[in-house]
């Protein structure tokens, strides 16, 4: 097996639950050595379930340090001296109290990259910043759901996962620079960043964001979920060539330009809804995809996993979703998540 592209990079993780551990697992999958620094009681996610912990902690090593003590912080300093980066997701006050910033750790290693994942910023205080709270605070929940219904949250932790991706990017960018320093990623900033075109439309054109039925796109028509004879279909038509292919297959005349389709949104949606009702979602998918039209039947997670078995990897006794980053010539191994303090001997 070839060494991963991040072989030789050592990353310390001081965190818990999801955002930080997800970021470092992605790095570990790419060959980085990730040392998970846990308190004597372990990462809080160990208390959720073994499957939950495994989903974001494969390919890591675990050591136990009590960072509330001077000895624990001294031992962490010894690890910092031999590492390229430290990533932490804790409350800002705890990050400062434990000395997990670049200003505090540079005495051990001038080139250490310190990444802090917080809710609202390293110096913004300790306001509660759980994933769903941040989605509510940044407008994501208000944009999700039926316009006549209540705000809705996605069925997964979008803010935590997205912050983990951004943190991994920031960490690698600073390592590539060859300089140590402090990197900050806040869940709030990440989610606002992901509302990019919605925010731009409001800031530059005064367009107030609004929810549309069936999750319809604000610019493209038709681009939303549609009921069919059986199941729902996601149809996403972004330009006139796609419309022509779809309309020919569905037996629809007219509405040839996007400008016309946007102006006559309700008429277009009524015609498309009637046409799609003549067949099932799975059948429409099989008919439209060969034509280059973006369409997919709405599947459950078990159905989606069954349709994409190549995304599943085995790590010890666990079956997990593998890394989304695939590099030609590199096939990552998948070690099971570490037992609490399993690699403590390296500190003795």
325 lies in a domain? yes
DSSP-derived pairing of the beta strands 85-89 and 10-15: parallel
CATH number of the domain at 266, please: 3.30.1540.10
Looking at the structure, tell me whether residues 293 and 315 fall in a common domain.
no
Looking at the structure, tell me whether residues 135 and 72 fall in a common domain.
yes
**pLDDT of amino acid 44:** 95
pTM of the prediction?
A: 0.94
Looking at the structure, tell me whether residues 160 and 120 fall in a common domain.
yes
Looking at the structure, tell me whether residues 79 and 16 fall in a common domain.
yes
Cα 202 to Cα 325: distance, rounded to the nearest angstrom: 33
138 lies in a domain? yes
Looking at the structure, tell me whether residues 271 and 326 fall in a common domain.
no
Per-residue pLDDT at 18 exceeds 80: yes
| Residue 226, beta-bridge partner list | 233
Looking at the structure, tell me whether residues 156 and 223 fall in a common domain.
no
Cα 23 to Cα 47: distance, rounded to the nearest angstrom: 20
Looking at the structure, tell me whether residues 169 and 53 fall in a common domain.
yes
* Domain encompassing residue 335: 10-194+311-347
260 lies in a domain? yes
DSSP notation for 85-118 = EEEEES-HHHHHHTT-SHHHHTTT-TT-EEEEEE
Count CB neighbours of 336 within 10 A. 16
Looking at the structure, tell me whether residues 238 and 154 fall in a common domain.
no
Cα 15 to Cα 303: distance, rounded to the nearest angstrom: 33
Query: Which residues are identified as catalytic?
Result: 160
Cα 289 to Cα 283: distance, rounded to the nearest angstrom: 10
Looking at the structure, tell me whether residues 59 and 107 fall in a common domain.
yes
More confident residue, 264 or 3: 264
329 lies in a domain? yes
Cα 237 to Cα 95: distance, rounded to the nearest angstrom: 47
317 lies in a domain? yes
304 lies in a domain? no
Looking at the structure, tell me whether residues 166 and 144 fall in a common domain.
yes
What would the two tokens of residue 307 be? Answer: 């349709």
CB contact at 8 A, 37 and 63: yes
Q: How many domains does the chain have?
A: 2
Question: Where in the chain does DSSP place strands (E)?
Answer: 10-15, 33-38, 60-64, 85-89, 113-118, 181-186, 223-227, 232-236, 294-297, 312-315, 318-321
**pLDDT of amino acid 175:** 98
What Rg, from alpha-carbon coordinates, does the chain have? 24
Looking at the structure, tell me whether residues 293 and 339 fall in a common domain.
no
Mean pLDDT of 180-185: 98
What would the two tokens of residue 151 be? Answer: 């705000």
Distances from the Cα of 270 to the Cαs of 184, 213, 239, in angstroms? 47, 12, 19
Q: Is 298 exposed, middle or buried (0-12, 13-18, 19+ CB in 10 A)?
A: middle
Write the pLDDT tens digit of every residue in 212-269.
Answer: 999 999 999 999 999 999 999 999 999 999 999 999 999 999 999 999 999 999 999 9
| Residue 296, beta-bridge partner list | 234
CATH number of the domain at 135, please: 3.40.50.10540
Per-residue pLDDT at 346 exceeds 90: no
Looking at the structure, tell me whether residues 28 and 125 fall in a common domain.
yes
Mean pLDDT of 167-180: 98
Instruction: Write the Ramachandran bin of 270: left for phi over 0, alpha for psi from -120 to 50, otherwise beta.
Output: alpha
306 lies in a domain? no
56 lies in a domain? yes
């Amino acid at each position: 097996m070839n060494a991963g592209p991040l072989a030789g990079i050592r990353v310390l993780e001081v965190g818990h639950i999801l955002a930080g551990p997800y970021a470092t697992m992605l790095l570990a999958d790419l060959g980085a050595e990730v040392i998970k620094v846990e308190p004597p009681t372990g990462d809080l996610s160990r208390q959720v379930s073994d499957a939950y912990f495994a989903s974001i902690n494969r390919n890591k090593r675990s050591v136990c340090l009590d960072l509330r003590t001077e000895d624990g912080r001294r031992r962490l300093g010894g690890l910092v001296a031999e590492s390229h980066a430290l990533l932490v997701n804790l409350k800002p006050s705890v990050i400062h109290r434990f000395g997990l910033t670049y200003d505090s750790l540079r005495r051990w290693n001038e080139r250490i990259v310190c990444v802090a994942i917080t809710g609202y910023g390293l110096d913004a205080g300790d306001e509660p910043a759980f994933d769903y709270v941040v989605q509510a605070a940044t407008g994501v929940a208000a944009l999700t759901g039926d316009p006549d219904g209540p705000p809705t949250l996605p069925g997964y932790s979008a803010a935590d996962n997205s912050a983990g991706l951004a943190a991994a990017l920031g960490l690698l960018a600073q390592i590539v620079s060859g300089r140590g320093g402090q990197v900050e990623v806040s869940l709030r900033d990440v989610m606002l960043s992901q509302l990019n075109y919605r925010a731009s439309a409001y800031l530059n054109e005064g367009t107030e964001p609004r929810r549309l039925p069936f999750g319809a796109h604000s610019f493209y028509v038709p681009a939303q979920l549609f009921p069919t004879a059986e199941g729902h279909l996601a149809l996403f038509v972004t330009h006139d060539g796609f419309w022509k292919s779809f309309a020919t297959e569905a037996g629809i005349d007219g509405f040839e330009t996007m400008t016309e389709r946007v102006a006559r949104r309700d008429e277009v949606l009524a015609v498309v809804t009637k046409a799609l009702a003549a067949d099932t979602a799975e059948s429409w998918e099989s008919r439209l995809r060969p034509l280059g039209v973006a369409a997919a039947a709405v599947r459950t997670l078990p159905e989606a996993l069954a349709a994409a078995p190549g995304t599943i990897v085995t790590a010890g006794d666990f079956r997990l979703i593998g890394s989304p980053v695939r590099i030609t010539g590199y096939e990552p191994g998948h070690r099971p998540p570490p037992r609490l303090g399993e690699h403590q001997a390296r500190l003795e």
